[in-house]
């Protein structure tokens, strides 16, 4: 990872991922981090308004959508990965006063898969039923360069189609992060260029 910090407050993160070739297909390639619980208002420019994944996004249209972190969660009886949004150009997490964090794919990187949840991946693995889920102290945010499809076209073959698998090969991508003020326009940030 290479981190470039600009005087504007923007941070550009360049990643190169080189997994071992003997690994099985990867579930995701991206970044995960914790955000404070106060950043509970989510706005994104991508597919929505409902959850969608690489192999389940045809009915989700590209637009600007708003939600709360709470509303992004889908309470499946057996807890699993949920609430993702596909083809996200940018996402903003803000508090009640409008302060927050902006994130987008940067440079030549394609739109990303995004999710934000009070239930981290470890908690979703631990809980055996939706009523056993315990909210975390923070919001777990995933910004994925690539995300495996979900599969499950029918009840008897839950396999993911070949074109939605992530082989263990080299991946390179860049993310742009910057702080948000109440007056910040995510569209303006997205259209702006950073110096090289």
**Residue 165: inside a domain:** no
Domain ranges, residue 95: 35-149+170-191
Task: Say what the pLDDT of residue 101 is.
Answer: 98
Task: Say what the pLDDT of residue 157 is.
Answer: 65
**Positions of the chain with pLDDT under 50:** none
User: CB–CB of 119/73 below 8 Å?
Assistant: yes
Domain count, the chain: 1
User: CB–CB of 92/186 below 8 Å?
Assistant: yes
Give the span between the Cα atoms of 35 and 80, in whole angstroms: 21
CATH of residue 64's domain is 2.70.98.10
- What mean pLDDT is reported for the chain? 95
**Residue 92: inside a domain:** yes
**Residue 14: inside a domain:** no
Sort strands 61-68 and 41-48 into parallel, antiparallel or unpaired: antiparallel
CB-neighbour burial class of residue 69 (10 A; exposed 0-12, middle 13-18, buried 19+): buried
Give the span between the Cα atoms of 51 and 79, in whole angstroms: 15
**Residue 16: inside a domain:** no
**Residue 74: inside a domain:** yes
pLDDT digits (tens, 9 = 90+) for 138-175: 999 999 999 999 887 776 666 888 899 999 999 999 99
**Residue 109: inside a domain:** yes
| CA nearest to 186, candidates 176, 173, 171 | 176
Task: Say what the pLDDT of residue 67 is.
Answer: 98
**Residue 21: inside a domain:** no
**Residue 11: inside a domain:** no
């Amino acid at each position: 990872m290479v981190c470039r910090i600009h005087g504007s407050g923007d941070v550009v993160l360049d990643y190169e991922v080189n997994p071992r070739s003997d690994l099985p297909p990867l579930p995701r390639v991206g970044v995960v981090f914790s955000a404070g619980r106060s950043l509970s208002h989510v706005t994104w420019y991508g597919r929505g308004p409902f959850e969608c994944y690489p192999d389940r996004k045809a009915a989700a249209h590209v637009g600007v959508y708003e939600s709360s972190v709470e509303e992004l969660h889908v309470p499946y009886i057996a807890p699993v990965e949920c609430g993702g949004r596909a083809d996200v150009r940018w996402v903003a997490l803000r508090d009640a006063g409008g302060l927050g964090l902006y994130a987008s794919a940067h440079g030549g990187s394609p739109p990303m898969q995004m999710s934000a949840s009070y239930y981290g991946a470890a908690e979703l693995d631990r809980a055996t039923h939706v009523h056993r889920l315990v909210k975390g102290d923070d919001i777990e945010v995933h910004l994925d360069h690539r995300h495996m499809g979900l599969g499950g076209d029918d009840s008897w073959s839950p396999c993911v189609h070949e074109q939605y698998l992530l082989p263990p090969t080299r991946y390179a991508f860049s993310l742009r992060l910057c702080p948000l003020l109440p007056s910040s326009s995510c569209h303006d940030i997205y259209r702006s260029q950073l110096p090289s």
